[in-house]
Amino acid sequence: MNYTSNLNMMAEHNIRVALIDDHQIILEGLQRLLANMRGYEVTASFTNGLDFLDFLQTSTVDIALLDVTLPDVNGIELCAQVKRKAPDTIVIGLSNHSERSLILQLLQNGASGYLLKNIDARELKASLKEALNGQITFSREVKEIIARPSLSDLKQLPKLTQREKEILQLIASGETTVSIAGKLYLSPLTVETHRKRMMNKYAAKNTASLIKLALENNLI
């Protein structure tokens, strides 16, 4: 949408905002902030990303404030799905995660900006206005992150093989080594070897950090 159409939209009705975050206290805090902003209304809030997709089947929103870490779906992939289903919906990331690579991936999937959750009401309002005017918007700290990439951001992450991806997806789903071995017709020793190899490949201290890295970088 261009600047003129956004102004018309604001004149015709309140800006309809959807909130997607798995922490109820965050949802409640955002609802209070937006309730005090003239011209905005929270029309729906969700703790699961797939519920928001279902909502878009029959309803529309102008802005979606989206956490990238959700219990049922990768927020980065969810952003792409939202833009395919409702291309006029402005998606803005709102998260505690400050990894530059994650921010850029969300933008590549169609987001109009990225905010950290420590923003105040004034910064939130300014960012929403920028997005409605067709600009890419960042909170102050995100602007600093984007401007100063770290060495780890510049380093290309190695790819997972198809087998590694299968195993890591099952590990992330809570499967045990024995059950993974049974499902993939491998020996438990082979599964463990793949797991250790992936940890070495990504310099992960443990399986949990390996899964976190893979999710944040859209590897699985």
The C-alpha torsion from 155 through 160 and 214 to 86, rounded to 10°, is 100
How many Cβ atoms are within 10 Å of 102's Cβ, its own excluded? Answer: 22
- DSSP 8-state secondary structure symbol assigned to residue 112: S
Report the chain (220 residues): mean pLDDT per 10 consecutive residues. 46 86 94 93 95 96 95 91 96 92 90 95 95 95 81 66 93 92 94 92 85 82
CB-CB neighbours of 155 under 10 Å: 9
At 2 the pLDDT is 43
- For the chain, which domains are there? 3-151 (3.40.50.2300), 156-216 (1.10.10.10)
> So what's the pLDDT on residue 94?
96
Sheet holding 40-46, edge to edge: 40-46, 15-20, 63-66, 90-95, 113-116, 137-138
- The predicted pLDDT at position 3 comes to 40
For 63, the token pair is 């802005």
